[in-house]
Chain A
Amino acid sequence: MTPASGLADSLAIDVHELVKRYGTRTVVDRVTLAVEPGRICGFLGPNGSGKTTTLRMICGLLTPDGGGGTCLGYDLLRDREAIKRQTGYMTQRFGLYEELTIRENLEFVGRVYGLDRMRERIDASLERLGMATRQKQLAGSLSGGWKQRLALAACVLHEPRLLLLDEPTAGVDPKARRAFWDEIHAYAAQGITVLVSTHYMDEAERCHEIAYIAYGELMARGTAHEIVESSSLVGFVASGPGADRLAIDLQGAPGVTAAAAFGTTLHVCGPDRDALLKAIEPHRSSPSIRWDEAEPTLEDIFIHLMGKARDNALDS
């Protein structure tokens, strides 16, 4: 993933071999990541895989125990203040003040960054959020979706060149999530680089590219299409009456990475075609169930990668 040296200057994020340890536990293990300007990079991985820690190292909140690199052309270790100034970091928990109004929160952020034309900027931000009429409402009284949009607005108030979003849409309804992602794309169109962590596959597909991290290790990198293409995983879809109930029989069978019911259909996948065929063989005789070979989904691939990462972690 290391880019050619000529490209390095233009990369928004260019970090190598980042390591973070807490005591004896290695939370982030040699993660290398490069993101081009104006791109939306989805950061995926299971809970506790080191996503938050990686984001915190990139935004200068934590110092890596190993590795380094640049962020917006600034050195990750030496120019943290400069990085902070041009980066917007949205924490996983709502990080604004519930006891302040929407406007007061934005004003606080504006003052900390020492912004000029405060009133103008905040008015514009509220307008963009569609919160101009509600600016005197307490932030604590907002619904989850609105809180996240407000937090995003606060993050971009100082016009950062890089946005780091830590699971920004967790627990937000689909409509609000869609609105949130529309905004992310609008910022990217302005040239802002976005690194966003998420658990949602539909969101992963809305990213320009994806980085998958598990057990502190970067497992896959590329566009959603590239990741599916390059995966050696084989998948089958079974449909017909009772197909979904086969999931229980197939889960954990040799050669099967994942078997999951999707409505009335069943998705199975495995790394080896022959082994997978052998596993589903007993169920293929049923005349009422149709089996079709299908491309594995992103989710299948991530579950597969997660298993692989765990094996790696156990080996070492």
Chain B
Amino acid sequence: MRWILELAGRPLSNPPDVKVSPVRLAGFWRRVGAVVTKEVLPFRRERMSFAVIFVLPILQLLLFGYAIETDPRHMPTAVVSGDDSMIARTILSAIGNTGYMDFTHQPRTDDEASELLQRGEVQFVVSIPADFTRRFVRGERAQVMIDADATDPMSVGNSLAAAGPAIEQALSRDLIGPLRGRRGHSDAVELVLHRRYNPEGKARLNIVPGLLAVILSVSMVLMTALAVTREREHGTMENLLAMPVRPFEVMIGKIIPYFVIGAIQTAIILVLSWLLFDITINGDVSMLLLGTALFIIANLAIGFTISTLAENQLQAMQASFFTLLPSILLSGFMFPFRGMPQWAQWLGEVMPTTHFIRIARSVMLKAATFEDIHSELSALLAIVVIVTAIAISRYRMTLDGNAKPTH
């Protein structure tokens, strides 16, 4: 195995205690520069991939920012009313006036209503039991039930949150005559919610930082994974290693262009979010940049590790998506992190995207300081160190496979 280590960039001719002279360092940067130039040049001709790198983030931002509404209104709702009193009607119209629910169906039984919910024809079922008015007048607890189709928790959260206050307000305004005495009893009507869900805040503000994380990880992981695998697949790696450029120099030279691309993507997203959605960075910009830099490096290291495992570009692509999907689904980008089961949260904690989303959201929206986010930054740093160590050790071993004759 000795030659593997030697290939990995420590020339045997130099004893380990030799000091790195400026001349040697200049040689290092010259060779790294050669690799960087070689990586960047094809972009000039491949307008298509160039466009993808910079236009894709813009398209995604517009798509997520404008088209996908995570605070949907006027959702179809079924009403099962066993009580047609004035109070019941007051409560129903209060719920309807929130704008979230449109009463589209009037099923006669609870079963019929459940079926509508099951089939997805309605998002909510509002039920008022037959004894509602009687209990209300007696001063007993009267219940209104809302069943929500919570398969998409984001879309029902706000509607459910709005229903309670709407009912209370309606009761305080509309209770007149003999029922006046019931005013101000906040416990007069109990709203029973099934599968109630409460998202964290305004959708767009929440999505832009998350989007920054997802766009960066998709492009960083995928591009690095392909960059190294391509060299091996095309047989150029052997030629490269026969020249006086060390594997470590190749690695650095390959990573620098993609780091710059990641930085430009970040700038595009932040500027566009500001121009289009008026989202500004409330906190310290340097904190966000520090987090972003760590996050980009973590993703480059992941991509590099994948490229050392994959035998061809197709495998590299598959492996990239295999790592990207959970980082999109379990990082708190798609679903509120606290809503996930414990095991999924643990998985999420291992992924850099999770920590970066927290950093980005905290800094951009909550003006977090270093003290607030230092644990997230350390987690990110730990991931960078571990994955880089794996990447480097795997990279050495790959040269073994790379240098083997192909018969």
Q: Which residues of A contact B (CB under 8 A)?
A: 22, 27, 47-48, 50, 52-53, 56, 59-63, 77-82, 84-85, 87, 89, 91, 93-100, 104, 107-109, 111-114, 138
Contact = CB atoms under 8 A, between A and B. Distances in A.
Q: Shortest 5 CB-CB distances between A and B: which pairs?
A: A95-B239, A63-B3, A111-B34, A93-B235, A48-B407
B405 A95 contact: no
Contact of A108 (B3, B12, B34): B34
Q: Which interface residue of B11, B38, B45, B235 has the most chain A CB atoms within 10 A?
A: B38
B241 interface: yes
A98 B244 contact: no
B12 A47 contact: no
Contacts of B241: 61
Interface stretch (B25-33, B164-172, B325-333): B25-33
Given A52-B405, A111-B33, A114-B30, A84 B242 contact: yes
Contacts of A93: 234-235, 238
A91 B238 contact: yes
Contact of B407 (A47, A85, A94, A100): A47
Q: Which interface residue of B11, B242, B404, B407 has the most chain A CB atoms within 10 A?
A: B242
B403 to A, nearest CB: 6
B13 A79 contact: yes
B33 A80 contact: no
B372 interface: no
A47 B6 CA distance: 28
Contacts of A85: 244
Nearest to A48: B407
B34 A53 contact: no
A114 B243 CA distance: 11
B42 A61 contact: no
A80 B242 contact: no
A112 B245 contact: yes
Contacts of A112: 31, 34-35, 243-245
B235 A81 contact: no
11 contacts: A61-B403, A81-B13, A84-B243, A89-B242, A91-B242, A95-B240, A96-B239, A97-B42, A97-B236, A109-B243, A112-B31
B403 A56 contact: yes
Contact of A59 (B3, B30, B45, B242): B242
A308 to B, nearest CB: 21
Nearest to A59: B242
A47 B404 CA distance: 14
Contact of A111 (B30, B238, B242): B30
B238 A84 contact: no
Contacts of A111: 30-31, 33-34, 37
Interface in B16-69: 27, 30-31, 33-35, 37-38, 41-42, 45-46
Interface residues of B, number: 35
Interface string B225-240: 0000000001110111
Contacts of A138: 45
Contact of B38 (A53, A81, A104): A104
Interface of B: 2-3, 6-7, 11-14, 27, 30-31, 33-35, 37-38, 41-42, 45-46, 234-236, 238-245, 403-405, 407
A99 B38 CA distance: 9
A48 B405 CA distance: 8
Given A63-B3, A109-B243, A111-B33, A95 B11 contact: no
Nearest to B2: A63
Contacts of B239: 89, 91, 95-96
Contact of A91 (B3, B38, B42, B235): B235
Nearest to A53: B405
A52 to B, nearest CB: 5
A61 B242 contact: yes
A78 B14 CA distance: 9
Contacts of A107: 37
Contacts of B235: 91, 93-95
Contacts of A63: 2-3, 6
B244 A100 contact: no
Given A63-B3, A113-B244, A108 B37 contact: yes
A113 B243 contact: yes
A56 B237 CA distance: 13
B27 A82 contact: no
A96 B238 CA distance: 10
Nearest to A164: B242
A109 B239 CA distance: 10
A204 B238 CA distance: 26
A114 B3 CA distance: 25
Given A81-B244, A113-B243, A104 B405 contact: no
A84 B235 CA distance: 18
B312 to A, nearest CB: 15
Given A100-B41, A108-B38, A84 B31 contact: no
A80 B245 CA distance: 12
Given A61-B238, A91-B238, A95-B239, A100 B404 contact: no
A104 B37 CA distance: 9
B403 A62 contact: yes
Nearest to A105: B38
Nearest to A89: B242
Q: Which interface residue of B3, B234, B243, B403 has the most chain A CB atoms within 10 A?
A: B243
A80 B234 contact: no
A95 B236 contact: yes
A97 B407 contact: no
A98 B231 CA distance: 11
A81 B42 contact: no
A97 B45 CA distance: 14
Nearest to A65: B3
A117 to B, nearest CB: 15
B227 to A, nearest CB: 11
A302 B150 CA distance: 78
B405 A27 contact: yes
B2 A100 contact: no
A62 B405 CA distance: 11
Given A56-B403, A84-B242, A95-B235, A62 B37 contact: no
Contacts of B31: 111-112, 114
Nearest to A138: B45
